[in-house]
Amino acid sequence: MESSVGIADALKSFCGELPELREQARQDGWSAELVRTLTEMRAGTLPVTTAMARTYDRAGLPLRTRRYAPVPGQDPAAPPAGAYTCPGGRCSRVEPREPGGPLPECALFDEPLAFG
């Protein structure tokens, strides 16, 4: 998989939008196509940007791979202690810990987020 800040941020948004994209695919009859695309992406045989472009195109949405980037020379702040993050370190998603709250899950890879 590609590994850049831009791709990680785009993947974060894609993961967050995936439940709605899955519902749209179900309603419009392209669920099997979405499953194949995500399976290929997970296996590393389809680049993340290609999988996203294919999915957004099928949903009639624009591909959005450019996100916020820090000012050159400034490092982004470290996430607060006790947060949930992407289980494989593939995206930049960070969810704060909510005592008694549900365990956040990665909709893209069907795994719970990692705590750390």
pLDDT score recorded for residue 1: 42
pTM of this prediction?
Answer: 0.57
Query: Encoding tokens for residue 41?
Result: 């992406």
Tokens read off for 28: 């419009």
Check whether 12 has a pLDDT greater than 90: no
Q: What does the pLDDT read at residue 33? A: 96
- Least confident range of 20-29, 34-43, 78-87, 94-103: 78-87
CB 84 within 8 A of CB 114: yes
Q: How far apart are CA 8 and CA 67, in angstroms?
A: 9
In the predicted model, is pLDDT for residue 26 greater than 80? yes
Q: What is the 3-state secondary structure (H, E, C) of 32-45?
A: HHHHHHHHHHHHCC
* Cα separation, 3 vs 48, whole angstroms: 10
Q: Give the containing element (helix H, strand E) for 55.
A: helix 48-59
Structure-derived torsion over alpha carbons of residues 79, 7, 48, 18, reported in degrees to the nearest 10:
60
The pLDDT tens digits for 66-111 are: 545 555 666 666 545 678 999 888 899 999 887 777 889 998 888 9
